[in-house]
Structure 1
Amino acid sequence: MKQLFRSALEWIEISKFERRAVIALLFFVAGIAIYRVYYWNVLYFDAPAIDYVAKYNQIKADKEEPRVLKLHSFNPNEVAIEELMSMGLEKSLAFNIVNFREKVHPFYSVEDVRKLYLMDSAIFLQLSPYIILPERENKWSKTYGSSNKERSKTKKKFNPDSKHKEEIYIVDLNLCEEDDLKQLPGIGPVYAKRILGFRKLLGGYVQLNQLKEVYGIEDSLYSSLLPFLKLSKDSLVQIQINSIDIKTLSKHPYIDYKNAKLLVRYRESHGAFKSLDFDQIHGLDQRMISRLLPYLTLD
């Protein structure tokens, strides 16, 4: 019996190399088994969780998009919480605005509003052009953006309550600077920069209603500004149509590259323009050119 057992052991005895091969094989099989179990769980059991996380992230991203406000001009020293909320502000921010003026001190400048707790930069950029403060309304002591000679010219307006005429000093849209514009009702630093930026692109305003082409200035704000505005056209930067190149001409807001190229190529082929009548140029957008005409000169 002992001999038989010894023979069996000798038969199943394996070398050191073979033992290592068996161990490696066992690890390989175990790895495949673990992978299949994990893959199965992720594929068939975690899919709803993955969908949930994706939806959650999308909702979170949507909530983090800048809040769009429905704004109108307001005085932060008088406005009520309900009115602020109706414009789209969070209740907590509306409360902070009212609480600040009642518990700390009245708002003396737009900068005071910017420093409020919970006031982020995106909200402030939308809000600032609509903020009207009493001291801003009482600074009309001259005609802003005008020469000394022009400052003597004022516009009279009859006040039926006081039974006398009041002087309203006018801002010249082509001569004013940023600080001048910020004195206007509803105009903060953002709108002031946009107005001046568009004026630079145009070369000056030729009509007051061009102000409505400035991004963000709606009809209601434009109407409220009209009594305080005037235009002097002496400062217009005009385009010398007989010498300008395509690239420079196409930078003007009232003409695109295609039409600028048509004008310049026609001039190069037929000689200098003798008039500002461009009806003979085939393919030229005449409606576009009609807007550009006040800025053109033959000299």
Structure 2
Amino acid sequence: MMRKNYYRKLAFMVFLLAILLAYQKYTSREKEPFPEVKFIVNSGTSINLADFNPNALDKDQWKNMGFSDKQISTILKYKEIVGGQFTSKEQLKKCYAISEEKFKEIEPFILLPETNKESQLKHFKNFEKKHITIVRKFNPDEYSVKDWAKLGFSEKQAEAILKYRNYLGGSFISKEKFKDCFIISPETYSKMAPYLLLPEKTPENFKTDKKFATKAHIQYHPFDPNTLTAEGWKSLGFSEKQVNAIVNYRDKNLHGSFKSTEDLQKCFVISEEKFQELKPFINLIMIKKEEPKQETTDFSKTDLNLITFKQLREFGLDEKSAGSIIGFRKKLGGFITKQQILDTYNIDKEMVQKLISIVPLNSSGVVKYSLIDAPEEWLKNHPYFKYSADKIIFYRLSNSDDKKIWKLLKLKPEYEERMKLYLK
């Protein structure tokens, strides 16, 4: 037994020694070297910038230029506020997320006009919608916005061309003057020149004043646009095509006459400048048609059971009151007493009191029945009978006397009283 315990102790010591050796080996092993840490330090060097269009930059590109996420968010929101794109350096500078120093740093590389005025001019100079298409010779003095648009110009460009024509007094005068229009690029003019029905050179006696040039032969005089002939319109400086448009607008759109000076102003072939020139001379004479006299109602001779909705409105009742009276009268089959009118819901009681004091009531035409012979449909739809209709129909099956039915109904005196108004 002692020998057995000895071997057990020996085995335990060997096992414990093995654990100690293993632990020593593990703790004394050579450790792997820790990776070297490298810190990125801002060297303070300036960002390499190249020419850029701020409208084309995304968030990452703005960040590469040195802006924070918050600044970028502000810049993009500002871009949406100004219409979806920056139009000039002047506009971009106003964004408070870009400091004065930062703007000076990036300004030389911004691909935008300096100011909004330059941007607008550039917008007009940026060529027509697609390309100019001309198939025949034409007189540009006769062209409207739609005509210029058909050639390939945008609506804004067409309006600018017409403003320039108005500046010259309503005519381009010559090819030379037409070429001076800032909307018409040299390339466009070279395409259009062979088709222009205009003199090559500007007459020597042509002059312009400080404001707008006017044709010497136009003599403004008072006129009525509703009676002015085609020749009359031409004498005011309009072309034949414009005259046709004005006359068609008057006769078709306005059914034969201008009702006001504003109607004339809305005619698309008359520019705002031209209208202001004409305005002092417009003498619009309107022929007033005599309206048929409306017959007034003699309410003292009108029956309350026959009075119409229109007559009630004429008397002074509002739509709600008039509608309520007509509707209640229809359900009753006619009024028996004036108090019924006064008891109608949703009415102006003060006005109705005045009405019933003036207008007579004739109830002789109101249909009446007995409880025995009243139609079932009439009983079920009449405001005074519908809540007792089923009982009346049941009781009269075994009773042929109205008095007995009244006793069986056991109604309040006030209900019985108003029901009897419509009984024989």
User: Same fold judged by TM-score > 0.5?
Assistant: no
TM-score, normalised by the number of residues in structure 2:
0.29
- The structure with the largest alpha-carbon Rg is 2
**Structure with greater contact order relative to length (CA < 8 Å, sep ≥ 6):** 1
